[in-house]
Amino acid sequence: MPNFRLLPKHIILVRHGESEGNKDPSVYKTTPDYKISLTEHGRALARLAGSRLRDLISSKGPSQHWRIYFYVSPYERTQSTLREIGKSFSKKRVIGVREGCRIGEQDFGNFQVAERMRITKETRENFGRLFYRFPEGESAADVFVLVSSSLESLWRDIDLNRFNNDPSQDLNLIIISHGLASRVFLMKWFKWSVEQFERLYNPGNCEIRVMELGSGGEYSLAIHHTDEELQEWGLSPEMIEEQKWRIKANKADLNYHSKWYHNSFFDQELDSDADVKEDVVSDNAFEDVKEENSDDDSKDHFLVLGTGYLHNRQLTKNKPADPIADTSASLSFDAAEAMVFKLRCCLIEYVSDTGMFNFFKVISPYPNLAMELDIANEVQRKGNQTEA
């Protein structure tokens, strides 16, 4: 049985209380987003959340030797929420507090005009909430990268026992943040897909979402929350079943039994190698295509996965030397640069998780060939450095 004594008993996500912006969106026209404060009702909600959190933590398990550590967004409304929540805990219960910019709110731009934001958010619904980028701001995918990086720091804090927590005490981490940051945190933690993320609803003001440690070392939302609650958040029946699986799952296990996700990529009628069709393209066929397309006016670029070619693209000589500088592409220079940065971050995350370059793939949801080529070159360069 693995030793889970230093793992937090709970990781709890709390959205801030009602803000002046929630009550009257016109305040964004004159007040920077990070300075938006709580309403009186929002402060009352935060105090109530503090009482609920204390009851939740103190009533779980036989041990009364529990401690808490807070992570908080730097925004005024989240920090005010923490001040109100903190009134429910004595100093001896609180190990510490850390402010984290990476769990802040999505950047919607600078000052926000209400009517323009309304139209922009309608466009986002049609485009897709994860990948839509606000003019002068961020996409939810950008927030995902920041939250993912923050989560890695959280794990280092746990692994190195930076909380100086006595193993005989129950450790509880409380993250006071924003609606989107909470959703992408759960998406990252539970490895939810883009389609699953698009199903999720924003938590209400001071709504609490509890990840509790199961008997095998995995965290689950289904220990503290009911099926009805999870459904209200937007979790599908399959996602709820996975949360229940996590209650007793071993830490090292991967949920390969989730065929609902596996089947979306592979034809399950092919039960054996004998069922595979013989028209699979061979490496020789790729070489033939390469020879046919090679001429003086174009250059082939390949992104290699194992021993097979994943992409076979051409970049004609009349394109700019720097692929990202292609102003005729569907993305602006700044947007393309940001997207490339995000994909590079994903590559770095992959390397940190696996420590190997032998097999990889880059999936870009953006129809920008220049970006794909730039990423391919970056992957190849980093792979060569590692091998050296």
Average pLDDT of span 183-187? 95
**Helix, coil or strand: residue 327:** coil
CATH ID of 10-213, from 1.10.10.10, 3.40.50.1240, 3.30.1330.10, 3.40.50.620: 3.40.50.1240
Q: Is the pLDDT of residue 313 over 50?
A: no
Question: Active site residue: 76, 105, 212, 242, which one?
Answer: 105
Model confidence over 17-43: pLDDT tens digits?
A: 999 999 998 898 899 999 999 999 999
Tokens 């959703």 belong to which residue?
A: 183
- For helices 369-387 and 333-354, angle between their N-to-C axes, nearest 10 degrees: 30
Q: Count of CB atoms within 10 A of residue 283's CB?
A: 9
pLDDT at 21: 92
Model confidence over 212-242: pLDDT tens digits?
A: 999 999 999 999 999 999 999 999 999 999 9
Strands 298-305 and 308-316: antiparallel
**Helix, coil or strand: residue 241:** helix
- DSSP letters spanning 220-239: ESTTTS-HHHHHHHT--HHH
Query: Tokens at residue 154, please?
Result: 């959280």
pLDDT at 240: 95
**Does the predicted model carry a pTM greater than 0.75?**
no
Average pLDDT of span 81-91? 96
Q: Of 252, 323, 337, 325, whose CA–CA distance to 1 is shortest?
A: 252
Average pLDDT, the chain: 76
* CA atoms of 356 and 184, how far apart (whole Å): 26
225 is catalytic: no
Q: Are 13 and 178 in contact (CB under 8 A)?
A: no
16 is catalytic: yes
Range from 48-62, 64-78, 227-241, 348-362 carrying the lowest mean pLDDT: 348-362
pLDDT at 196: 93
Which of the residue ranges 105-119, 214-228, 314-328, 331-345 has the most confident prediction, judged by mean pLDDT? 214-228
* CA atoms of 339 and 153, how far apart (whole Å): 23
- For helices 40-59 and 76-85, angle between their N-to-C axes, nearest 10 degrees: 50
pLDDT at 288: 60
Comparison of pLDDT for 128 and 368, the residue scoring more: 128
Q: How far is CA 147 from CA 123, 225, 289, in A?
A: 24, 23, 42
Q: Is the pLDDT of residue 156 over 50?
A: yes
**Domain residue ranges of the chain, discontinuous segments joined by +:** 10-213, 283-387
Q: How far does the chain reach from its first CA to its final CA, in angstroms?
A: 39
Q: In terms of DSSP H, where are the helices of the chain?
A: 20-23, 40-59, 76-85, 114-127, 140-159, 179-190, 194-199, 227-233, 237-248, 259-262, 283-293, 333-354, 369-387
Q: How far is CA 90 from CA 50, 93, 167, 234, 301, in A?
A: 12, 6, 20, 35, 62
Model confidence over 63-73: pLDDT tens digits?
A: 678 999 999 99
The DSSP element (H or E) to which 300 belongs, if any, is strand 298-305
